[in-house]
Structure 1
Amino acid sequence: MKKSFFILCLLLFPYSACETDLKDGHYTCDPNEPGACPDAWVCQLRGTDGIYRCYESGEAYCQNGMLDPGEICDGAELGEFTCEHGFAICLTNCTAICTECGNGHIELNEFGVGEACDDGNTEDGDGCSSNCIIERSYCVVPDSDECLNWCGDGTINGPELCEPENLGGYDCTDFGFHDGTLACSADCRAFEPSQCEGFCGDGDIHDVEVCDGIQQNNLSCWDFYFSGGDLHCDTGCLREFSGCFNSWNRHSVNTTGNIISIHGTDDTNLFAVSFNGWVGRFDGSTWDNEQLAGDPMLRGVWTIAPDDAWAVGNFGTLLHFDGSTWTATTGFESLHLTGIWGSSSTNLYACGFIPGYLLDPNNPESPFIWGVGIILHYDGVDWTEVLRHGEALEEHDVTFLGIHGSGPNDVWVVGPTGQVWRFDGIDWTRVTLPPEYAAWEFWSVYALNPAQLAFSGYKDTYEGFVLQLENDVFTELEIETDVVVKQIRGTSLADLWAVLENGSVLRREAAGWRILAPPLGSRFFSAWNDHPDTLWIGGANGQLMEYTGEFETVSHEFPQSIMRIWGAESDNFYVSGQTGALHHLENGVWNEETPPDGMYIYDLWGPNKDLVMAVGRRGRSALRTNGTWASITTGIEANLTALYSVHGCGASEIWAVGATGTILHYNGAQWVSQVSGSTAQLNDVFCVSPSAVFAVGNGGTTLFYNGSDWTTLNSDTTKNLTAVWGTSRNHVVAVGNDGTIRLYDGSRWNPVESGVGVKLSDVSGTNARNIWVVGSSGVVLRFAGVRFSPVVVPGNPTLNRLHLQPNGRILAAAGYTFLEYRSKLLPRPFVTMECPSTVPLYCQETRSFDTTRLPAVIEDWGTGGNSVTGFNGPETAFTFEAPFSGTVEWKLNPGLTGARLIVLSESAWETCDASTVVALSTTGNDGGQTVSIPVVRNEKYSVVIDAPAAVTGSITSTCTR
């Protein structure tokens, strides 16, 4: 045998020595055959496949029946492994498990023999005995050898999962269905769900679902107080808001044409034009629509004032608006004008081109000019030509497409094939581009100042581009797009907006370009902005969108994860880091300050920027006065008790809370311990007044201080509460784990629906109708008077702290940086109360409302003969914009005795002016309050519901032409 083995080796390995190439376990062998392996090798069984192989040495291995290092057991050798219950069994991989009769799984018993049955209990008399032996007397054929006739006896035993009349407590819902009848298979070994009905994902909304697939029960993002987007449904048939956005508002205008140009002096004087001759004028609240005679093909608009605007277009269109009438300037019919810009009413420029023509019409051999660029100038009296440029080469089509300037002596015009021209106050000259940019198609230019410009368009490879020109140096900004960048706008080279032809809008920030929530999937052609948080864009089919701001990452990044943001002023605030670092923004500059003795700060607060109290780890605190930090003894340092939160109502009325129910009061001179009556960890404290202080903590703990003693309030939850904030002792909000929100009304805590199930970390606000909450997974909720509604945050970061600045902007800590909600439309800064927030209401629509826990604001309505005294109950309001001229009727649902409808102009309601009532209903009619008024297209109204007490109901709007 040994000889034949070596002959085999020589046949297999003719160019190498056989024995040196042998590998452990490569060749099989017979342990009973002498010489089955080479000299000094052994024939062993290792592993679980039952095959013997040749090994160079007889070292330790699993399945050798000996307990070797690294093994828990080996065969019958169990070592020190024991079972508290059941039987120890060594598996073939030399690990051990405990088996046990009565666990519902058929396993090996202590003798290594498989259980005959296991019905999940250790009771006798149910077909499977207490030691997992079949009780044959319970078989259909008593004492039979096989006992195969269990199925149908009504008892689930042996290998059965169910019986036709006994499903073991299971029904269709256990298999993901909502209804129907669950059955048992013919052999009792499987469930049969074929008669079950309705499941998440079948495309139908069932009673226990709020959505299913694309079915949203006729609801959209708008119904949840977003401004647009796509409402999604997750795999559990719950609504998902990641496709919704708050940042874009669509304006309704009376055109289906492509909105080619937008310009304004501010948001109260805005003009837009479309390619089909439509002109829109916006006064800050209403669009005035006008279709110009002849439907001119308009391509540009520029306004100096509401009564001084110009529009240009094809076939020499030059129109001036004087506040009431558009007047044409003639004499340029051979031109196509594409853009207009001006520094004043007596200094305007228009650019465009003359379409292709023969240089000498009488000579067929004459070169063909594909386009001649034209620039016109207006001096307040006449339009005159100041530049004509063309080249007699087909590939050099000169068509000026964009114009912009930073002043009368800095005007720029751009066009295809590298056409970039500049007027310096004396002459127009062509700018020499670097060779790599010379063939690019320039569509837009934005001049910030003579030394800083941005250009956009597309390359000769048909990829979009953005170029910046700074101090005479061109630099391409990285941007991933394969479509034309139609417009470039911004407030600085570090803050640019790029509008793409495919409907995307990009914003340049410190970290690069960020895609803003796409408006509505339209093609866009024009853009204008006058505010860092605002952008107007125009697109196909009358699409006119206004970007009003959203949460955006602020460029400053900190070396530590942020624990707290706080500041008494909008441009003077602090950020504390996870390792105790403290960063202070003052006069636009960030400085790192060192807390005394390396203090680890958890929270800080102060009545003003000159007096700031900080608390933190190990019961320590520090006070900053006159720009200097100094330690303040708390008296609990020896206990190492952490202080997690500090808040107050003045320099001598400051409270701090922490672990084990600790509460301290600072009286302006020293910290004094107060008895809380609780041992729970307290996470936050909020001072409404010196006689109304609230603290919240773990296990649903809520405490109230009345000026002398702390008492426990019943929060009706055991969830950990993380933060508390309020406007008065009768309106306090607490948030916590698992989406918990509680609202205290002066007598008890009431549960409030959050719509989320994640940890809510912080809450703050400016008044009872402007409350913000942040939490895990990018959750931001806003209460604007109706309910807490989600606000989408890009990237879904975990947000752990919230700070509302005095200017109304919101800061939210997100890891090593913070997000800022930047919007010009934010509510007015800290005021005692605002008018009730409004919700849009449309024709032929019914909307629900609930004024519970909202404050009453208006005391008197109207003046003179059309005045009424306000009720004591809270108000809620809806906005209505007439889609056409006719009549509109609003009606409350029956049963709201004493409630009434009050109609005001929308502009009056925005300023909290209730003096002019347009119409009102009567009171005391429980058949449904009704009010009807004649309306003109685009008129806007606020419809207010006023009642003696909080009411819940619905309002219906019916429009008639």
Structure 2
Amino acid sequence: MSSVRPALLLAAAALVACGHPTPRNDGASARNDRPAPVVVPAPAWCVDGWCREKPALGITRSIRGTGWNDVWTLESTGVVHHFDGTKWQQFDLGLRPPQAAYALWALGPRSAMFVGAPGSGRRYDGSTWRPVEPESYSLWALSETDAWAAAYGNPYCKLQHWDGVRWTKDPFNGAVGGTLIGIWGSATDDVWAINNGGTILHYDGSQWTIVVDDLHVGLQPVIAPPTYPRDWQLTSIWGTGRRDVWVVGGYQLRPIVLHWNGAAVWAAAPDDAWATTLYTEALYHWDGKAWRLHSLHPHAGIQSIWGSGPRDVWAAGTALLHWDGASWTDRNLTTGDLAGAWFASADDGWAVGRGGAILHWDGRAWSRAPSGTTRDLFGVWGAGARDVWAVGAAGTALHYDGAQWTAVSGAEDDLTRVAGTGPGDVWLISPGNNWHWDGHRLEARPAPAGIATGPSGELWGFDATSLVHWDGTAWQPQSEPFPDADQGGWRVNAIFPTGNTVWGVGGNVVKWDTGKPSTPDLPAPAQGFFGPDYYELTSVWASSPDDVWACGGTQVLHWDGHAWHRFHLPGPRLVAIAGSGHDVWAVGDLGVIYHLRGPDGRR
């Protein structure tokens, strides 16, 4: 059995998968001069002409592997990444809610499997991903012919075994409630399982038995809060051999670590273990004497840890981080939530979002651009390809001059929107003060709550009561006061002008022709998991009065000059829509980007 001490996930409230011991490769894992990894995009996944140019980030539920050059990650959306030591390859399997992926296992570069909600499981044979049966939160495999998964859901823990041909249910049902959320083993006759209610089970090669039923009786945790109530939960299990098994859990972000050494129950820890409290930026390392804190960036959201050796440890969640024995580095393959997009042309566009993320589209692929900030960005707009603005939290204002992004000082509050008529007439909008750029400096000036620039450079705005137009010197009212939203009126989230016509969206669509409003009929909303997915539109964009697009939730609406048509794009929530000519992009949560090409929406 390997002497490597694997990374250890310490989670406070999660459903996470477990790992298995892997061969040590000190020569490989010690290298710090490996080539910088690149990403090989997955084939686009398309629905109704909309293609996901960039898979949604999702939440990385699990990271597993067999060595430094064979690392796999699984996201809740069914996106799998594989690292071969040089490059990352994406597999976007296009799971649709309520499908969700939970647990991953890897046996080599040509053998991986994941399980999840009903209909979500897949197995990779080196060339093809095929459906697998288990509906499970947890998965463990020793070989191609020996794997265990826990049946999905309550009221009883039900285990299933894979023999290389089929899955069979184990006769063990027991009086064990809750859900089995962790399985790990060192051999065919040494497999452990835990449920979220605190029960610990062991398999000896012939049957499963309950080893621990009450965590409050006779246990001395390695780490524990001063008092731990009876509703604390176990969340993950991992080990290196029969006498080195870790079980972790917690209660309200207070961690608990238990350790089995084969003789005394829950005894001393080894000298190299990693742990994290779920959804935080903190990682803890045990060096044999004490736990030491490693603070990471604020959006790490760690859910899973895996390593092939002390100099090759990976941590993943809403970020992807790597430990080389000396420091943690960000190896993120994508970005978090996206909040805004703007395009100068079909081959030159920008998207911005969480943690200072800025992405650039060059007509072929999206790439990350350095922003110089970790603050969330909410909006982007440009007067031209070499004159682009991005705005965000705490007065963050960035300007792109065609070569690089630089910070512009002078603004305050959270800036949520940006638009203008040219390089010397740019407006930055916040819930507090609004700011105007005259080409030299920012100055606080009154402005409406929301603004947008049309295809011809016309600048319009709206506030809680009316529509306004910027005539170059002042904001002029252009409509009657809005009806009170509480009295069946409108709640406007965004507008977009096309000449004398202005479109507004919110819970419905409003059209102003020369200041006179109308509310067109919309197609019935898509059916969600719990019923109709009623419209909550957050963004609108148009290339002309007869080509208008709006998005919100998982739906996109299109006006073709005669009627509105609906597209349902399952997955993360769509937040912003923008385009150039007949090319349209919708971006949103978890970094999702959909692209529609061509006048008829077909590739």
- TM category (shorter chain) comes to 0.3 to 0.5
TM-score by length of 1: 0.27
User: Which structure shows the higher strand fraction?
Assistant: 2
TM-score by length of 2: 0.42
* Structure with bigger gyration radius: 1
